[in-house]
Amino acid sequence: MFDAKPRDVQVLPTAHQTLVLRSRTWDRLKFEIEYALRKGTTANSYWIEGDRTALIDPPGESFSEIFLAALTARWNLKSLDYVILGHINPNRAKTLEKILTINPQITVVCSNPAAIALAKILPELSINCRVIKNEESLDLGQGHVLQFIPTPSPRWSDHLCTYDPATRILYTDKLFGAHVCGDQTFDEGWQVYSEDRRYYFDCLMAPHANQITTALEKLAPYDAPLYAPGHGPLIRYGLTELVQSYHTWLTEQKNKANRVALIYASAYGNTATVAQAIARGITKAGVAVEAINCEFTDAETIKTAVENAGGFIMGSPTLGGHAPTQVQTALGIVLATADQTKLAGVFGSYGWSGEAIDMLEQKFRDGGYRFGFDPIRVKFTPTDQIIKYCEEAGTDFAQTLKRQAKKRQPKGSATDSQSARLEQAVGRLVGSLCVVTVAREEVNSAMLASWVSQASFSPPGLTIAVAKERAIEDFTYGGDRFVLNILPEGNPLYKQFIKNYAPGEDRFADIATEPGQGGLILTEALAYLECRVEKRLECGDHWLIYAIADTGKVLHETGLTAVHHRKTGSYY
């Protein structure tokens, strides 16, 4: 974790006639609420100066004042000709509005979906837009002939990348980013960012694997030894490795046996945020998601996605007491396509009422579908706690889907017998029973762990295997803290934590606790250790967490450590 520091803007050269304005904060921004890590962020904007000038990707409202102060201290905004938008949302539009107030003659270059969104977000402004519908170019002079590449996805249907052949820089906006804050402009020592970039991909890119694959195919022909993303360090030294990693991760997503069709529309971004959290929970559980924004998707694509999925989830805002027309059209396609064996889910956000969510729920109940989680209703902007609930609901949905798929698999082959013998042997590995507790602001969570082992004497270190689908997985990154509560033999706490919890259910109801560093201390535990995550290693469907124990105490001197015996290695 970083110490609290004021926000600032760095203005640094990146190439000939090109500068980056790095708006930095060491705190996680609320508009990135679906992104759980707290390593701060850097919102990158770029200034290109040929015969005409262009600003690429102004930051969001959180940086508006300091960004404009840095901008006007160096340049006269009356001389700015173009603002190029990799994507637009209400947050970024606040900064754009202030720029256009200073210089209303600016031409805003954006995709067609972005132009439509701008008209809704800033209806009082008369904006001079140049709408990019295909791969087009813009000549700034002195060799800066900017080439635009539309790269839409369900999350960012208006996404646009920009290539400058004069500097061979590819401006990728949301693609290839990382939410980290530091002093490095470029990715020297790029390996230290590997975990952050993988987490960014898993949270924001994995649900859109097909569209991101198409985007990478579009970007491949451009001769760009430097990628300039919207967040994090610019990518030069680890560029080849990162692009290859994206291809590998995308292939993994597309090759997963179980799939969910996640279909939604979003008026102000809140429903999309909920969709992203549900998708994150599903992908954590090893199930692929095909996210579909039905505002920009044709009927055949929706139909095919539902046919190929084991389950479907629909989300909608409520506008004027109704679901948007695109949601109603998609609903008709789903009902006509999905048989009753497919698992269903419903979610949505609203301001004053939630009739659209009720309508979706009733239609699926009338259709005889089984629900993978209770319908999710979010009023206004989702909080951290709601986001965690949605993620856990997505995980529950995925686990139910996997169980259904497993029941349909044929049994009794020789391979099944060999697998059973192996599972029985692995099950004889024994571990102590512990409860890992984590806390962050209003969110508290816990996990029963039996794959725990001491790993080092000096410093006193230990390892814990955490399944990727566990609710606490987001709390086990480098620098995070947790409490390891070691259970005594015969203690009823084991029964409390071994059960399956519903999304958002209180893990600590009727349990005596006291606050610790990073999580709650269970006062009935045999002992506890307050730990700090040092490293993570990806191991199949688990993360192996290496942590340092900073403090600890034995609470009951005469007790013995509870040990977990298993008959099979295929479950805990």
| CATH for the stretch 8-252 | 3.60.15.10
Amino acid at site 40 = G
Beta bridge partners of 315: 264, 347
Out of 33-37, 53-57, 420-424, 482-486, least confident range: 33-37
For residue 429, pLDDT beyond 90: no
**CATH 3.60.15.10 residue ranges for the chain:** 8-252
Sequence-distant (≥ 6) Cβ neighbours of residue 159 within 8 angstroms: 86, 87, 111, 150, 151, 152, 153, 173, 174, 175, 215
For residue 35, pLDDT beyond 60: no
Report which DSSP code applies to 204: I
pLDDT at 37: 64
Report the DSSP pairing between strands 563-564 and 481-486: unpaired
pLDDT at 5: 60
Report which DSSP code applies to 159: -
For residue 19, pLDDT beyond 80: yes
- CB–CB of 134/150 below 8 Å? yes
Query: What is the band of 2 on the pLDDT scale with cuts at 50, 70, 90?
Result: very low
Out of 140-149, 214-223, 417-426, least confident range: 417-426
The 10s digit of each residue's pLDDT in 455-467 is: 999 999 999 999 9
3-state secondary structure of 209: helix
pLDDT at 437: 97
Beta bridge partners of 544: 465, 537
**Measured on CA atoms in the order 440, 497, 284, 361, is the torsion positive or negative?**
negative
Our CA dihedral for 381, 384, 390, 394, rounded to 10 degrees, sits at: 140
Which of 445, 455, 451 has its CA nearest to residue 465?
Answer: 451
Which of 529, 520, 516 has its CA nearest to residue 452?
Answer: 529
The 10s digit of each residue's pLDDT in 303-349 is: 999 999 999 999 999 998 999 999 999 999 999 999 999 999 999 99
Q: In angstroms, rounded to a whole number, what is the distance separating the alpha carbons of residues 315 and 446? A: 29
Report which DSSP code applies to 205: I
Instruction: Give the other-Cβ count within 10 Å of 333's Cβ.
Output: 18
Which of 313, 383, 316, 380 has its CA nearest to residue 348?
Answer: 316
Tokens of 305: 């996605």
- CB–CB of 492/525 below 8 Å? no
The 10s digit of each residue's pLDDT in 359-372 is: 999 999 999 999 99
In the chain, what is the greatest distance between 2 CA atoms, to the nearest angstrom?
80
Arithmetic mean of pLDDT over the chain: 92
Sequence-distant (≥ 6) Cβ neighbours of residue 442 within 8 angstroms: 383, 384, 385
- CB–CB of 187/177 below 8 Å? no
pLDDT at 67: 97
Tokens of 437: 């507790």
- CB–CB of 493/487 below 8 Å? yes
Tokens of 70: 């840095």
Instruction: Give the other-Cβ count within 10 Å of 201's Cβ.
Output: 21
Looking up tokens 């404009």, which residue turns up?
68
pLDDT at 569: 80
Report the topology of domain 256-407. Rossmann fold (3.40.50)
Q: What is the mean pLDDT of residues 88-117?
A: 95
Sequence-distant (≥ 6) Cβ neighbours of residue 52 within 8 angstroms: 81, 82, 140, 141
The CB-based long-range contact list for 162-168 (8 Å cut-off, 24+ gap) reads 162/56, 162/84, 162/86, 163/222, 163/224, 164/18, 164/48, 165/223, 166/16, 166/17, 166/50, 166/142, 167/14, 167/15, 167/16, 167/17, 167/18, 167/226, 168/223, 168/224, 168/225, 168/226
Between 508 and 423, residue with greater pLDDT: 508
Helix axes 270-284, 384-407, angle to 10 degrees: 40
pLDDT at 45: 98
pLDDT at 3: 43
Q: What is the mean pLDDT of residues 121-149?
A: 96
Q: In angstroms, rounded to a whole number, what is the distance separating the alpha carbons of residues 39 and 179? A: 7
Report the topology of domain 427-564. Pnp Oxidase; Chain A (2.30.110)
Percentage of the chain beyond pLDDT 90 is: 75
**CATH 2.30.110.10 residue ranges for the chain:** 427-564
DSSP states along 307-321: HH-SEEEEEEE-BTT
pLDDT at 331: 97
From residue 413, give the alpha-carbon distance in Å to each of 303, 405, 418, 508, 569.
35, 17, 9, 44, 19
**CATH 3.40.50.360 residue ranges for the chain:** 256-407
Q: In angstroms, rounded to a whole number, what is the distance separating the alpha carbons of residues 228 and 384? A: 29
Looking up tokens 């990707």, which residue turns up?
57
From residue 509, give the alpha-carbon distance in Å to each of 446, 503, 513, 518.
12, 14, 10, 19
Out of 19-33, 57-71, 266-280, 295-309, least confident range: 19-33
Query: What is the band of 413 on the pLDDT scale with cuts at 50, 70, 90?
Result: low
